[in-house]
Amino acid sequence: MPRPCKCRYVGFRPEACYFKPRGIPLSELEEVVLTMDEFESIRLADLEEMYQEQAAEQMNVSRQTFGNIINSAHKKIAEALVNARAVRIDGGVYRMSGMKRFKCHQCGHTWEIPYGTPRPADCPQCRDENIHRSEEDRGARRGGFGRGRRRCRSLRI
């Protein structure tokens, strides 16, 4: 029996994915790797102060799995702070949610921007103004991924 896709949803891409202690050369640093789903768990539970049930639902995981993810994230961050490690945010099996997709009629270029950012005025590639929301993306914000056939994949940043 095929197992259902258990991709974890991540709604935010970090602006910076590498943090290091000042004054220690990179070559002497040990690195802690925080996966994207661990990063997202911290963002939802610690920064946005969501209940774990709610955060788990948003990430498409069980409450228990969410607990495991965030425990692992906390431990890694603690280790980085206490032992002066660099932190790299990278990897994990996840997909981006909360992105809206646009398509340019002129050149066919498609791109994604996060929800909450203003609608772009023109195509970033050809600067034509004849752009529209991509159909396949409609209503995909909250648990609405069911209709699309997009495959789970592991994204690298």
Cβ neighbourhood burial of 50 (10 Å; 0-12, 13-18, 19+): middle
Stretch that binds Zn ion, among 55-63, 66-74, 97-105, 145-153 (CB under 5 A): 97-105
Instruction: Output the six-digit token pair for 148.
Output: 């699309």
What is the contact mask toward Zn ion in residues 59 to 88, using x (rule: CB under 5 A)?
------------------------------
Q: How far is CA 89 from the centre of its chain?
A: 10
Residue from 42, 104, 137, 145 that binds Zn ion (CB under 5 A)? 104
d(CA 135, CA 139): 9
110 forms part of the interface with Zn ion (CB under 5 A): no
Residue from 109, 111, 134, 155 that binds Zn ion (CB under 5 A)? 109
What sign has the CA pseudo-torsion 45, 49, 53, 55?
negative
Chain residues in the site for Zn ion (CB under 5 A): 104, 106-107, 109, 123, 125-126, 128
